[in-house]
Amino acid sequence: MTVDLDIQQITVRFGGIVAVNDASLHAEGGTITGLIGPNGAGKTTLFNVCSGRVRPTQGTVTLGGQKLDGHSSANRAHRGLGRTFQRMELFENMTVRENVRTGPEALFSSNRFYGLFICSRKEGREIRDRADEAIERCGITQLASQTVGDLSTGQRRLVELARAMATPFKFLLLDEPSSGLDHSETGQFGQVLLDFVSDTGTGILLIEHDMSLVAEVCALIFVLDFGRMIYTGTTSDALVSPVVKAAYLGEVAVAGA
């Protein structure tokens, strides 16, 4: 069963600055939706609103019909919303395998009141299986016993992605998962995401700067500029849209084009 993410009229103000201005977005479950925009457009802020790290001035976030407003980050995770971070949040002193296992383990730990202390045999097996599967999916099997702190940026991105994939989320928010990957890695990366979505039915909302990747995987993209949602449509349409060009390159460039 797939689950949709719906963002309705979110506004976020930091003091006098309006970071996100009345932005709405609908991302369908079981597909990959792109969220692009120039730097400072408010993409990560929108993610932070969804995952409960930033309280919006107004607006609502709904996941599969359940309102998420007012819930803590942990609560939202339990409702099925997972995310990765632009500035990676990894357990630096742990190995790759431990990192990935900690994802589902963290979720299971607060399922029951004794979950913090006791890990049943069945749960333990599920954690191991999920972690192994996600590690393989992301192609980091050969790194599994290395400490995360020693890895390159691209490898660390993959670890973070594997951790989110190992956790039984229904919807994932991925914040620039491909930045730091080298060219060949990026090439395979799109297929990894597509396989994951078709295998598990998880929905993905993707912030990405690499347009070829976006074009490869996203059915639909949303373009955010100065906190406003300025464009919605298929990727190929978006790339030729004058509105989007103006946002990325400035008005003059459009006039000259």
Partner 1 sequence: MTRLLEYLVPGIADGSIYAICALGLVLTYKTSGVFNFAHGALAAAAAYAFYQFRNRNHLPWPVAAILALIIVGLIGGLLLERLAGWLSSAPPVTLVVATVGLLVFLQSLATAVYGASNIDDFRPFLPQSGFHVGHVTVSGSDMIIAALALGTAVGLYYFFQRARLGVSMTAVVDDPNLLSLQGVNPANVRRIAWILGATFAGISGELLAPELGVSVNDLILLVITAYGAAAIGLFDSLPLTFLGGLLIGVAVDVLPAYLPSSNVTLQSLPRNIPFLILFAVLVFVPARKFTERGMRNVRRLKPIRQYSLTVMGPAMSLAAVGLIVLPFVINRARVDQYSAALGYAVIFASLGLITWTSGQISLCHLAFAAIGASTMGHSLSAGVPWIFALLFAGLIGIPAGAIVAIPANRLSGVYVAVATFGFGILIQQIFYPTFLMFGVLNNIAVPRPHVLGIGFTGDRAYYYLCLIVTALACASILVVLRSRLGRLLRALSNSPVALDAHGANTNLIRVVVFCFSAFLAAIGGALLAGVPQSASGATGGQFDFTVSLVFVAILAFCGRRPLISPFIAAFLYEVIKIYPFFDNETVLKYQGVAFGLLAIMVAVAPGIQAGRLATSRRSSERDRSPVTQRLDDRRLGPIQPSALALGPPVYRSGRSPSNGSLSNGSSSNGAGVRPLGSKTGRQL
Six-digit token string for 215:
């074009």
Interaction of residue 102 with partner 1, rule CB under 8 A: yes
Closer Cβ to partner 1, 88 or 220, answer by number:
88
- C-alpha to C-alpha distance for 122 and 119, rounded to whole angstroms: 8
Contact pattern for partner 1 over residues 132 through 171, marking x by CB under 8 A: --------------------xx---------xx--x----
Q: Which of 34, 42, 59, 82 binds partner 1 (CB under 8 A)?
A: 82
User: How many angstroms separate the Cα of 50 from the Cα of each of 59, 127, 186?
Assistant: 11, 26, 26
**Residue count, binding to partner 1 (CB under 8 A):** 42
Among 1, 118, 240, 255, binds partner 1 (CB under 8 A): 118
Residue 211 touches partner 1, criterion: CB under 8 A: no
Binding mask 216-255 for partner 1 (x = CB under 8 A): ----------------------------------------
Q: Which of 81, 87, 175, 99 is nearest to 135 (CA)?
A: 99
Residues 2-21 that bind partner 1 (CB under 8 A): none
Angstrom distance (rounded) from CA 92 to CA 96: 9
Taking CB under 8 A as the criterion, the residue among 10, 32, 68, 107 binding partner 1 is 107
Give Cα separations from 227 to 13, 39, 133 (angstroms).
10, 11, 37
The string of DSSP letters for 79-123 reads: TTEEE--SS----TTSBHHHHHHHHHHHHHHTTSTTTTT---HHH
Residues that bind partner 1 (CB under 8 A): 39-40, 51, 53, 72-75, 77-78, 82-83, 85, 87-94, 98, 102-107, 109-110, 115-119, 152-153, 163-164, 167, 180, 209
